[in-house]
Structure formats: structure tokens, C-alpha cells
Structure 1
Amino acid sequence: MDVAVIAEGPDGGDQLRSLRDWLVDSQELRGRVDGVERSPEIGTLGPVLDALSVALGPAGAATAFATGLIAWLRTRRGDVHIKVTLPDRSSLELTAKRVSGLDTGALQQQVTEVADLLSRQQGDRDEPERRELP
């Protein structure tokens, strides 16, 4: 199963590059994270990173992705908005505001919720599931 990850906002491409670098440090995700780019606009240099595509095959990859995503969010300063879309077009939106202060219990809960979502098959939904980290 491949999931798409987008970061909204003017620095979305930079956020995605940072997340990609973070995720590929995990042995379970090495070779599973690719950038989705679009052609540069006229007058600009280089392609624009629009999304990440993460291939989640074995069950361990979903947990590694969830763990990496939450850990990365904890390192962010300010507001970050990430949307993870599954192949059936259901999605999970994570809005993190000053998440570096998450305690161990809250961190484990977030990782478990994201890993569970990625591990189970979901039907189409009209509204994306939204989670705001404390």
C-alpha cells in the first residue's frame, strides 16, 4: 500500500524534504520514500516537491512510518499541517502545534492511532479524519 503525504503552507516543500530525510533514516523505510515533483514554473529554478509517496508493505513499515512521522512532528517549531492519504482516498490530517512537549503516553497514543489507521482497510469517507496533537 502506498500513502501520499502532503504538507500545506508556503514552506510545504521544505517540510516534505525534511520529513523525507527523517524517514529514510529508518531501516524499515529505506527505499520506500519517494518525492512527487511537478515541473518548475516559468522563471523559477528546479522542480517543486508536491508530496511524498511512502510504500508500506509489511506491517512493520506502517509502524515505522507512524513512529517516524510523529517523532518528526515533535521536532518542528511552530505550526505544521500534514495530510496522509491512503489508496482508497481516505485521509488523516495531523496538525501539530508546539508538539515537542508531548509526554511518553501521549506520544505512544499518537503513534498507535496512526499505525492502526494505516494498517486497516477503510471505506471512502466524505470528511478526512482530523487529529490535533496536544
Structure 2
Amino acid sequence: MDVTVSADGLDGADKLRSLNEWLGDVQQFRGRIRLAERPPEPGTLGPVLDALVVTLGPAGAATAFATATIAWLRTRRGELRIKVTLADRRSLELTAKNVSDLDSAALQQQVDHIVTMLEQGQASGDDR
């Protein structure tokens, strides 16, 4: 199953590159992350990074993705907002502000919420 992660703001591409590096350090995601880019605007150099596409495999990949993404968000400051979208267009928005001060029980609840959404996406037959 593919999960698309996008980021708001003028520095959205930088945020996505940072998340890409963070997820790239997780063994389960090596070789499973690709950059979704669009061609450059006329008069500019290079493509524009729009999103990360993460292919989740079996055996706990949903939990690893949720845990790693929440951990990355907790290291960020300000009004950082990302959107996680499944192939069936269901999505979930996460913000650094909303996770930075959570205690361990609340963090686990947030991870569980993301895992449930991802696992429902896998159960719906999206096996790309």
C-alpha cells in the first residue's frame, strides 16, 4: 500500500526532504520511499517536490511508519503541518504543535489512530 505525505507552506519541500531522511534511517523503509516531483515552473531550475510516497509492506510497517512520523514531528517546531493520504483518498493531518507536548499515553493513542487508518487502507484491498 502506498501512503502519500505532503507538507504545507513555502518550505514544504524542505520539510519533506527532512522527513525523507528521517524515514530513510528506518530499515523497513529503505528503498520504499520515492519523491513525487512536478516539472519546474518556467524560468526556474529543477523539479518541485510535492510529496513523499511511502510503500508500506507487511509485518508492522504501518506501526513503524506511524511511530517514525510522530517522532519526526516531535523534533519540529512551529506550525508544521503534514497530510498523510491513502490511495482511497482518506487522509489525516498531523501538526508538530499537536504532538510536541503529548505524554507517552497520548503519543501511543496518536500512533494507534494512524495505524488503524493505515491498516484499514490495507484491508480495503489497496496492495500497491
TM-score w.r.t. the length of structure 2 is: 0.89
Deviations 1:22-55 (A, max 9, x none): 0110011111111101111122221110000010
State the 4+ residue runs in structure 1 displaced beyond 2 angstroms.
98-102
Give the match's secondary structure for 2:52. strand
Distance in 1 of aligned mates of 2:99 and 2:53: 24
Aligned equivalent of 2:23: 23
Instruction: In structure 2, give the amino acid aligned to 1:73.
Output: L
Query: Deviation of residue 112 (structure 1)?
Result: 1.1
Distance in 2 of aligned mates of 1:81 and 1:50: 14
TM-score w.r.t. the length of structure 1 is: 0.85
Q: Which has the higher contact order (CA 8 A, sep 6+)?
A: 2
Distance in 1 of aligned mates of 2:7 and 2:60: 24
Answering whether residue 74 of structure 2 is matched by residue 74 of structure 1, we say: yes
Deviations 1:37-83 (A, max 9, x none): 11111222211100000101204111111011100100111011111
**Matched ranges for 1:1-134 at <5 A:** 1-97=1-97, 99-121=99-121
Alpha-carbon RMSD across the aligned residues, in angstroms, is: 1.6
Identity in percent: 66
Question: What residue ranges of structure 2 are gaps of 5+ in the alignment?
Answer: none
Return the structure number with greater helix share: 2
Aligned residues: 123
Instruction: In structure 2, give the amino acid aligned to 1:52.
Output: L
